[in-house]
Structure 1
Amino acid sequence: MAASPATSQMIADLLAFIAQDGCSDADFDTMALRVFAHQHACNEPFRRFCQARGVTPRKVKGWREIPAVPIDGFKDLTLSCEPTAGCERVFMTSGTTRGELKGRNWHPDLSVWNASFRGNFERRFMQGAGRIRMGILFPDEAAMPNSSLAHYLQYALQEFGAAGSAHFVGAQGLDTSGVTEALAQAQRSGEPYALLGASYSFVHLMDELKAAGREFRLPAGSRILDTGGYKKQSRQLDFEEFYDSLAQAFGVPRERCINMYGMTELSSQFYDDGNAVVPSVKSGPHWIRSRVVDPLTGREVASGERGILVHCDLANYNSVTTILTEDVGVATANGFLLLGRAQGAQAKGCSLAVEEFLKAAA
């Protein structure tokens, strides 16, 4: 089913915006207000939420004033400007925080999502490397068609992987012998190699390599990308231990061990510039902005204070651009420090925000 004319025009304009070489604050506000007006008009639960707050497109003057939808709202309500039956894809969360209730993010087509990924990944992870042989420590998209991470990693392999790239997690779990041979071949050849996958998959691989007494010294230019945390799928390591272990197991300097921060409910990703120092500063492309707030009031906290991260992602045109996460952060001059999940009073504030949203939007 073809998208509505309004959505088709929005897609075309966003693709052009993403293709730009950066943007001013005023340009970001202009596009953010256009997307907000579209979502206010076409996304009924979101419009009800805005109405309960007395917020309309006429009143909002900049991206910071767009009401932030709590991330759990994606689990309870259908947040989509287009009829979901006509959407090309729905990405769903793993359901680890509230049993089997999954957050859902519908995409009329994947053109904007893919464009958001491609240029950002090329700049932040590939860093001019062209194609590189990749080992993917996550199932492929055929096995997990509703996983945004599966799509992310398979698209990375498709667009930037050299011959010999492969997935090493499948129905039988981690293919330790396969990835070990690929690493040994890279070490022998002297050609750079990239390992990408879920953080917990790296823990499992490092544990198995340690048990087998194996370590590698991958060639210069090799790099590692981890994402997603541990999700109770492996033992949990603190930042220092995790990145020290990666450097030790694969011979990749911590400066080349890059963490990607993303989520199903967004359509863009944040990266750091390596993890020689942790926690590392995360930042995104020009079509996403972040602020740090008190979840009880929604107001930005003072500079240097901890709060809950709010992201405004213009690539997220079909659901809502602006999301109140459950992640604690501190704003920096060039991005933010990601400090973990909300606990205590901050977690309670997030829960109250969810209750307010559901009461207004349902």
Structure 2
Amino acid sequence: MTASLPAHTALLVADLLEFIAQGGCTDDEFDAMAARLFAHQVAHNGAYRRFCQRRGITPRRVSRWQDIPAVPIGAFKEATLSCEPTEACERVFMTSGTTRAELVGRHWHPTMAVWDASMLRNFARRFMAGEDSRIPMAVLFPPESELANSSLARYLSQAVRHFGSAGSAWFVTTAGMDTPGLLARLRQAERSGEAFAVLGASYSFVHLLDTLAASGERLRLPAGSRILDTGGMKGRSREVPPAQFYEALADRLGVPRERCINMYGMTELSTQFYDAGNAVLPSVKSGPHWIRSRVVDPLSGAQLPAGTRGILVHCDLASFNSATTILTEDVGVAVEGGFHLLGRAEGAQAKGCSLAAEEFLQASTP
């Protein structure tokens, strides 16, 4: 799987896969791997190296993951952030480009081994709750065969491939949602008495809920059923506040809110965050041992104390080929056990993110 990689990258990937497979890590172990990856990225990623040089940050000055300069997420649209030549990469994931259709972010993967290991191990623990048995799944997002450059399509395809049982199927394609087919499958699941899972983008759930509300139908999926929504309503469906959204899922599908799991991820990361259900909002998002998060002021980059609103920064060790540490455009608050995700940056915080992206582009351009 890593045979085509340069020897130094193949060794790094092998060690990273071993790191992900272990049960956890200490802070020192995380910092050591983060520093090693930073040195690799500075050595082989030209745009990132120039940015770090401009800031006066070298591998010798990095001893903790918090020392690593964060790349503004907007930089993935403007710069090529890849340690390996892009033509040698196995896959590139692209953002949807909803803000400027002609400008999309690109995340290059020379091998899918690390991304897949990150997704599968995390999904098994957080959504499957460590259960060994497979479960039938209905997927409300187009398949990977239609959207090869979508990280979410890959994510859901891997979920079905490794955890879905016979009877799993897709009910959304690039042509739209097969609502009659989906309703028929959900009714069949209700009659079967076998636990069932529905996974997909939040906007697809909104369309399903609107259809059920219009007809007055209420389904009761069997005990043990669960729902995974991956966010994303803007521009795809009407906006539904979280409390109303999860209450409607429980009401129309019969799945308790504590079994309605939200996944928070992004194209520019290789690891996903989950909550433990949405019985209480805002829910606490957290990740596995190979990702860490902090909340910062977007202009200064200074870390903010717990309970203070700021912009989320994630350090994802699975993102070995691009940049481990990114400054998002998401507002959050650090809390015990993880963070609260509060939405997209607006006003001064959004301006701070834009200025950070401009600084990166100026610093990284030869």
TM-score normalised by the chain length of structure 2: 0.98
Corresponding residue of 1:42: 44
CA distance in 1, matches of 2:6, 2:204: 41
Q: Which residue of 1 aligns with 2:137?
A: 134
* Offset from partner CA, 1:42-94 (integer Å, 9 cap, x none): 00000000000000000111100000000000000000000000101000000
Q: Show the counterpart of 1:26.
A: 28
Query: 1-side partners of 2:126 and 2:154: how far apart?
Result: 18
Match of 1:274 among 262, 277, 287: 277
Q: 2:206 matched to which residue of 1?
A: 203
Q: How many corresponding residue pairs?
A: 362
Of 227, 231, 245, which aligns to 1:228?
Answer: 231
> Which residue is equivalent to 1:151?
154
Aligned residue number for residue 120 of structure 1: 122
Measure, in 1, the Cα distance between the counterparts of 2:130 and 2:87: 39
Q: 2:310 matched to 1:307?
A: yes
Instruction: Measure the CA separation in 2 of the matches of 1:303 and 1:292.
Output: 8
Higher mean C-alpha displacement, 86-95 vs 1-10: 1-10
Shift of 1:209: 1.8
Q: Is the Cα contact below 8 Å between 2:305 and 2:334 reproduced in 1?
A: no
- The alpha carbon displacement at 1:314 in A equals 0.2
Quick check: 1:136–1:195 contact (8 Å CA) kept in 2? yes
**1:254 — aligned with what?**
257
TM-score, normalized by length of structure 1?
0.99
Shift of 1:228: 2.7
CA RMSD of aligned residues (A): 0.9
Letter in 1 for 2:274: Y
1:68 aligns with 2:98: no
Determine the structure 2 residue equivalent to 1:164.
Answer: 167
Tell me the alpha carbon deviations over residues 209-258 of structure 1, each in whole angstroms, 9 at most, x when there is no partner: 22222210001100000013213100001110110111111000000000
* Displacement of 1:330: 0.3
- Structure 1 match to 2:13: 11
Aligned-residue offset at 1:135:
0.2
Structure 2 unaligned spans of 5+ = none
1:124 aligned partner, one-letter code: R
Per the alignment, residue 326 of structure 1 pairs with 329
Corresponding position: 1:184 with 2:187: yes
Which AA in structure 2 matches 1:275?
N
Question: Which AA in structure 2 matches 1:96?
Answer: T
In 1, distance between residues paired with 2:231 and 2:146?
18
Partner of 1:89: 91
CA contact (8 A) 1:96 1:231 kept: no
Match of 2:110 among 108, 111, 121: 108
- Cα distance between partner residues in 2 of 1:239 and 1:313: 27
Report the Cα offset of residue 41 of structure 1.
Answer: 0.2
SS in 2 for 1:132: coil
Query: Equivalent residues in 2 for 1:237-252 (5 A)?
Result: 237-252=240-255
Name the structure 2 match of 1:359. 362
SS in 1 for 2:180: helix
SS at 2:49 equivalent = helix
Question: Structure 1 residue 265: deviation in Å?
Answer: 0.2
Aligned-partner residue type, residue 120 of structure 1: N
- SS at the partner of 2:60? coil
2:295 partner amino acid? V
| Greater than 3 Å deviation, 4+ residue runs | none
Paired residue secondary structure (2:327) = strand
Counterpart secondary structure, 2:255: coil
Q: CA deviation at 1:128?
A: 2.9
Q: Pick from 171, 174, 177: which aligns with 2:177?
A: 174
Deviation digits for residues 122-150 of structure 1 (CA, Å, limit 9, x no counterpart): 00000133210000000001110000000
Shift of residue 208 of structure 1?
Answer: 1.3
Letter in 2 for 1:108: P
> Matches of 2:304 and 2:24 in 1, distance apart?
27
Question: Helix, strand or coil: the match of 1:281?
Answer: coil
The alpha-carbon deviation at position 195 of structure 1 amounts to 0.2
Structure 1 position 98, deviation (Å): 2.7
